[in-house]
Amino acid sequence: MTSRTQDVIERSEHWGAHNYHPLPVVLTKGQGAFVWDIEGKKYLDMLSCYSALSHGHCHPRILAAAQKQMEQITLTSRAFHNVPYAEFCEKISRLSGLDMALPMNSGAEAVETALKAARAWGYRIKKVPQDKARIIAAKGNFHGRTIAIVSFSTEQAYREPFGPMAPGFDMVPFGDADALENAITPETVAFLVEPIQGEGGIIIPPDGYLKRVREICTKHNVLMMLDEVQTGLARTGKMFAFEHEPGVKPDVLILGKALGGGLLPVSACVGTREVMSTFQPGEHGSTFGGMPLSMAVANEALDVLIQDELAERSARLGAEVVARLRQAKAPGVREIRGRGLLIGIEFEDFMGGAMNVAQALMHKGVLAKDTRVNTMRLAPALTIDESDLFEAVDTVIATIRQVASTKSS
């Protein structure tokens, strides 16, 4: 580690709160699927900011859209109307097959928006007694880190120092539709679930799970709310992960990350008119949510995904990556899971955690990160060049072999 890198890291650690444990690399430039550190070393980015960089770093079309909007008007607040907001709400509603959208900034804000919408719908439409509404979530979830959201997390580290927890939430095992049905009561207003648990370790539910969830929610008059902040927008090989099961459509869809095109924090809660119309003026909002600049960026980000057929590309390349990883039969690998270009490699305990592999990869010019200790996530830009992608996969395989040989010796 050079003195320049060390200086930045030491200042970050001294002056910045320690809420992350980053790899010891200082990035200063990004282009496409590549980044460069402060010393000029080039890396292939196989994390893509947890899918927020699905378009790659500094996509020229998205940069141009941002620049054009910046020269006109950037911020209005929702006290006034703006053109990009109207365009975005129509575009994302049509794309998802839903009726109305409420743009926010972070994914957690969009989840909070969905929680509020579900409770309002429960009281105003379903007629649940006031303050009795309950929302079911799946164990192993990750929906954000606000107080309300960590209240239905099963990760002790997310909860322990932050109590008391917010009431009104119930938990069921992920992928178990029968458990969901058994947990529903007359006060249940919604079931919130990720189609694939990303932070949970790229956990894919059994085939037919979402279809069964849709049937159960319809039967019991419960909202089906899908958190696709990480899985949405072409990442899994479909525009939305729920599209992998025909006939499934949520009542509420939560989006973020890639919606900002790698430039700005943009999220949205999209839903049926019945649900989204429960919000009345003054009941929910955001100073920056729906601002012209972020909406112009999101509109262009969506256009790029559609016009460049990035969902189809993700499906094809992801299948090839998973096949190559499985065929390698690298030692120390317990399981390989993936859909599209959202791939998890789970390691055996003797490997000492996925961070060991991530650190070794960093020295070979490939950036990836662990999730849930033993799983390493691969989620490159959907625009990545095929030769770069497969070179990175080969480096991953070689590095796993290297780490395994060190740990087993």
What confidence score (pLDDT) does residue 294 get? 98
Q: Does the structure show a pLDDT above 70 at 409?
A: no
> Which listed residue (34, 88, 142, 240) is catalytic?
142
What confidence score (pLDDT) does residue 157 get? 86
Active site residue 174: no
Task: For the chain, give the mean pLDDT.
Answer: 97
Domain boundaries, the chain: 62-307
Q: Does the structure show a pLDDT above 80 at 235?
A: yes
- C-beta of residue 253 within 8 angstroms of C-beta of residue 226: yes
Residues contacting residue 122 through CB under 8 Å, at least 6 positions apart? 128, 133, 187, 189, 190
CATH topology for 62-307 is Aspartate Aminotransferase; domain 2 (3.40.640)
User: What value does the mean pLDDT take over residues 349-369?
Assistant: 97
Banded model confidence at residue 408, pLDDT cuts 50, 70, 90:
confident
Which residue type, as a one-letter code, is found at position 284?
Answer: H
Each residue's pLDDT tens digit, 84-133: 999 999 999 999 999 999 999 999 999 999 999 999 999 999 999 999 99
> Which listed residue (37, 257, 279, 370) is catalytic?
257
In 10 A of CB 286, how many CB atoms? 17
User: What value does the mean pLDDT take over residues 293-314?
Assistant: 98
Active site residue 329: no
Q: Measured between alpha carbons, how far is 202 from 231 in angstroms, rounded to an integer?
A: 10
What confidence score (pLDDT) does residue 12 get? 97
Each residue's pLDDT tens digit, 140-189: 999 999 999 999 999 998 999 999 999 999 999 999 999 999 999 999 99
Banded model confidence at residue 226, pLDDT cuts 50, 70, 90:
very high
> Which listed residue (37, 45, 227, 251) is catalytic?
227
Each residue's pLDDT tens digit, 29-75: 999 999 999 999 999 999 999 999 999 999 999 999 999 999 999 99
Q: What are phi and psi of 253, to 5 degrees?
A: -120, 130
Active site residue 407: no
